[in-house]
Amino acid sequence: MNKICSLLAVGALVASCADYNVTDDFTADPDPTYVEPFKEYAPVKSYIDREKYANMKLGAQLKVSDFNKQELAHAAAVTNFDDVAFGSSLMSGAIINEKGMMNFLDMKDLLDHVEEIGGEVFGSPIVANANQPEGWLNMLTAPIEVQVATIEDKNVDYTTMEEFTGTAISGKPSIEKNYDDGTNALKVPKRAKVYIVEGFDVDPLGEYTVTFYAQVDKDESIICTFSDNKIQEGGKDKKYTLKAGKWVKVVVEAKPAEGATAGYLMIEGNLNSLVYIQKVQVSHKPDSHRPQTEQEKRDTINYALNTWCDGMMKINAGRIKSFDLIDEALDARAELENGMLDLKHSDTQIFWQDVLGSEQYAPVVSRVASAAYQNYGGDPALLKFFISETGLEDQKRYESLKYWIGVWDANGAKIDGVNVKLNLTFSEDAEKQAANEASLNTLLDNLASMGKLIRLSNFDIKYQDASGANVAAKQITEEQRLKLADFYAFVIKSYMSRIPQDKQAGICKGNMVDTSDPVGLWAIDNNSKDWVRTSVYKAFCEALRGN
């Protein structure tokens, strides 16, 4: 890595990795060897009036791997933003494997570095429905193994039977009287398919053993099918060998085919000799697992939550002070009796709220996370928990979230704020754009009425032309970029004017640089691959200082 690039934490105007002006005393002037638009502007965060907006923070989200490289994205983040957020890359699903092993190496590296340079991190969601350690949770909540007794299912004694009344798919089996020392036997013709035992119910999870005695006149082999499951070995039909002239004990171990309900064992495949059968016995061991009781599952999930919070807060050591507590808990359609949206629930995955209980979801998580935070040196006076949610422009989603926060507050949860995931678009259609702006202002007014800290995240704005088609970063004109920049400024000013100053927890940029959409404060130069400031950079600076 370039030696200069490894020193970017001390702060410099972001341009090219080869052209930073890195000094211990920050200067707003760019490296004179690099020319870029809007070079007269200082780092974006420097335009916030800290006396007037004491809680206001400007954040940026990026990947842990990009940050830990300490290259261009890292420099842009630490120079221009107050804090960094890492989304799903610091969530439990990225850290805990299916055996419960936790890998905090990347998290430790970034926190050590952020602490060294005096930066801040906004904590990823402690729990959520997505990006969770599903393998580990499934293992923990799996059915419990118990001791089971063997069950005798059926016995058939052909030695005393006078007539065969069973099922033959092909051939005509019969009872051979006085076959051996005055005892009878079932005679199975060549090439026949005969049920030698049947008429018992099957346990779909049971492990069955069928034992019978057979004799042949010539060496022979047979194939067996148990309850629609043709016994296989090495990818082929398993052949059971019978030696001529003596009774051979045959043991068939099998499970019924999926969906099978009728119990039977069919033999076939004897091409060279008749087969004589005397006694048949069927037994099985039931599934040796039972589902966990509700209390056992609750204890298990509490163990998982405590283990995760303890491990994460130990590495954190009080350094991250603000976290998303719960992420995107609201369902899209399911409603409660009072008309509010329900939380998400699942029949196929382990959702924390399904086990902890919807009304105790946030109270339990906040209590466990708070205790772990304090156990490892965190100052409880500085700890802040946010509920993160998307789609709050929709009035019903907003009212539903407000309802649930009220329930959780009443049950003792620590909820300091709401982290609102934005989903914004600028439209060239004047009527649509007016509606976009009105919707944003309604959202902010609603949020202001909650009395909680308000943080805006995923602050990226897509650009649509008058027909409603998205305009890509490669196609956007400077005139269009200016319109986009104006809308960014509008959002920032609306937030700072409509949310009370003591409730402003900040704004977090979703992407610092253009993606396929023109969402960045920087564009990427096609030739040099440098980051080049756009008019959105200027708009941020001017809006933050009140212009």
Biggest CA pair distance of the chain: 111
State the residue for tokens 């007014």. Answer: 445
> Using CA atoms, how far apart are residues 264 and 166, in angstroms rounded to an integer?
10
> Using CA atoms, how far apart are residues 134 and 97, in angstroms rounded to an integer?
9
> Using CA atoms, how far apart are residues 329 and 344, in angstroms rounded to an integer?
6
Q: How many CA atoms lie within 13 A of 415 on its CB side?
A: 28
Residue 172 burial (C-beta neighbours within 10 Å; 0-12, 13-18, 19+): exposed
CA dihedral 470, 472, 478, 482 (to 10 degrees): 50
Q: CA torsion sign, 30 to 31 to 32 to 33?
A: negative
pLDDT given for residue 35 in this prediction: 52
The token pair that represents 273 in the structure block = 């000799």
CB 275 within 8 A of CB 267: yes
Three-state DSSP class for residue 155? strand
pLDDT given for residue 26 in this prediction: 33
pLDDT given for residue 28 in this prediction: 28
Residue 219: other Cβ atoms inside 10 A: 12
pLDDT given for residue 181 in this prediction: 86
Strand partners, 454: 418, 504
Nearest Cα residue to 444 out of 521, 509, 507, 518: 507
| pLDDT per residue of the chain (547 residues) written in tens, 0 to 9 | 332 232 222 222 233 333 333 323 333 233 333 457 898 999 999 999 999 999 999 999 999 999 998 888 898 999 999 999 999 999 999 999 999 999 999 999 999 999 999 999 999 999 999 999 999 999 999 999 999 999 999 999 999 999 999 999 999 999 999 998 889 999 999 999 999 999 999 999 999 999 999 999 999 999 999 999 999 999 999 999 999 989 999 999 999 999 999 999 999 999 999 999 999 999 999 999 999 999 999 999 999 999 999 999 999 999 999 999 999 999 999 999 999 999 999 999 999 999 999 999 999 999 999 999 999 999 999 999 999 999 999 999 999 999 999 999 999 999 999 999 999 999 999 999 999 999 999 999 999 999 999 999 999 999 999 999 999 999 999 999 999 999 999 999 999 999 999 999 999 999 999 999 999 999 988 888 888 999 999 999 999 998 8
> Using CA atoms, how far apart are residues 152 and 284, in angstroms rounded to an integer?
7
The token pair that represents 183 in the structure block = 């005892």
SS3 labels along 452-467 = CEEEEECCCEEEECCC
> Using CA atoms, how far apart are residues 158 and 315, in angstroms rounded to an integer?
71
CB 239 within 8 A of CB 221: yes
